[in-house]
Amino acid sequence: MIRIGSRGSALARWQAEHVRARLETLGHPCHVQIITTTGDRVQDRRLESVGGKGAFLKEIEEAMLAGEVDLAVHSLKDVPTALPEGLRLCAILERADPRDVLVSASSARFRELPAGSRIGTSSLRRQCQIRALRPDLEVSDLRGNVDTRLAKLREGRCDAIVLAMAGLARLGRESEATQALDPETFVPAPGQGAITLECRAADERVASAVGPLHHPLTGRAVEAERALLQALGGGCNVPLGAYATAEASALRLVAFVGRPDGSSLVRGERRGADPAALGRGLADDLLARGAGALLSS
């Protein structure tokens, strides 16, 4: 029996059940155990004040290290590049649509929103890009899971929200998206759209069981994105995006670093065959062109 630890949100449960079903098809009985994390409990403060995106992993990782669960299912964009000692990422599933989407109460697209419209998002990356592209809009801090954010939109708390397309699609709600945002212009988070699996570093039984779920092409792309993230030392405290796509035998990586108010952004792109070297190389290029000052501020 493989015990899978999962958060309790509808999206997290979907992802855990998806992995459970695929593993059971391969002949591995599984059980999903719901674990409440700090990120789920604390909804009245900014995410970075309670440990960043790692706040959605902490209790699940502690349960794995304690031997209470064997496998964790995460949205890769929520996973820090440095893992706790004794744990490892053991598979990355094929990536879903990595784009951000606008969900608008009036069905207006991003460029059509009237000046002064309120857009809700808690992501500094999204806030930065919204302000850079539409400084005439008002950005409102908005936390909560997908259902909570959509409910707040319906209640009139804001005029539009920005979400990940992958999350909407996995919940069967992609029809609610008003507009998918071009990832070249509105750069996604590193790893966005990909599900990753985490297990104990020495647990070869679980690592072997999940091995067939790993998607090599997705693995290469997100390796480049996360190499850039690690080289820049970025996290949820920094407006930063990175997105890699396959081009023939190489990868193309686009990325940006900015200020939360959108007043300054450094963008870049680079091509290469080695994902880790590509990410580090583009990070060096961004730093040489001023990203270091943005990160330190």
Note the residue count of the chain: 297
Beta strands in the chain (DSSP E): 2-6, 30-34, 71-75, 87-92, 100-104, 118-120, 138-140, 160-164, 179-180, 195-200, 240-247, 250-258, 265-272
Q: Which residues 6+ apart lie within 8 Å of 77 measured at CB? A: 53, 164, 188, 189, 190, 191, 192, 193, 194
Annotated catalytic, 100? no
Contact 273, 250 (CB under 8 A): yes
Q: How far apart are CA 215 and CA 196, in angstroms?
A: 10
Q: How far apart are CA 160 and CA 139, in angstroms?
A: 10
Contact 58, 84 (CB under 8 A): no
Q: Which of 40, 44, 70, 78 is catalytic?
A: 78
Question: Which two three-digit tokens encode residue 81?
Answer: 């590049």
Catalytic residue ranges = 78
